[in-house]
Amino acid sequence: MINHISVIAFDADDTLWVNEPYFQETEARFCSLLEDYLPHHTVSQELFKTEMANLSLYGYGIKSFMLCMIETVLRVSENTAPPEVINKVIQYGQEMLNKPIELLDGVETVLQALSGKYRLVVATKGDLLDQERKLKKSGLEHYFHHIEIMSDKKESDYTKLLKHLDCRPEEFLMIGNSLKSDVMPVLAIGGHAVHIPFHTTWAHEHVDVTIEDPRFYQFTTVADLLPQLIA
């Protein structure tokens, strides 16, 4: 059992619902769109370079991704790409924004089981409007005591969240698919963290570490967590 927990926070993208595969599908279409300029893998590298350069300006999310695709088009084509290419990129982004929400297996069952026994929180990063839209479309909003859409997920961001929730670190459990964003900063401030890997992860979230901490747990699915929280 994971004891003495009062607040359980869930990451949203690729923890509650599918997200990263949509980015990868769109990136593949984008690379094909620019194949007259550069090979597929090179376009992918250029796009990632643009994303990393703009992260501090744009943050995370689909709108940031759209802007980075447009900038990459202009750089790769040396400003010669026709307007139709830019229009196609905007279309790709709008299609992503209109994607239906696909909940991951077992998510709602887990939320139902934990609701009323713990304060449940969403702690996710990304674009405010888009994340609010996804949460509303998910049908899960009513399970959560608080929604925190963060510009980033660093130790200071979690410390601020815990202060707002009036929760001590040792009473806080974070659940997510990213070791970098959902696990390591929470452990660093004294909280508990559960890693539930998703089958695909954005390159920026990859970390090659082995975590040995009594407050760290790893499960295959979110449903595997229930026996550790409900006696």
Q: Give pLDDT tens digits for 86-115.
A: 999 999 999 999 999 999 999 999 999 999
Find the mean pLDDT for residues 213-227: 93
pTM of the model: 0.92
CATH of domain 7-17+102-229: 3.40.50.1000
Q: Does residue 14 contact residue 177 with C-beta atoms inside 8 Å?
A: yes
Note the CATH architecture for domain 20-97.
Answer: Orthogonal Bundle (1.10)
Q: Which of 200, 202, 198 is nearest to 222 (CA)?
A: 198
> Tens digits of per-residue pLDDT, 203-213?
555 667 778 89
pLDDT band at 151 (very low <50, low <70, confident <90, very high): confident
- The position carrying tokens 């934990």 is 114
How far, in Å, CA of 12 to CA of 25, rounded? 19
* Structural domain spans, the chain: 7-17+102-229, 20-97
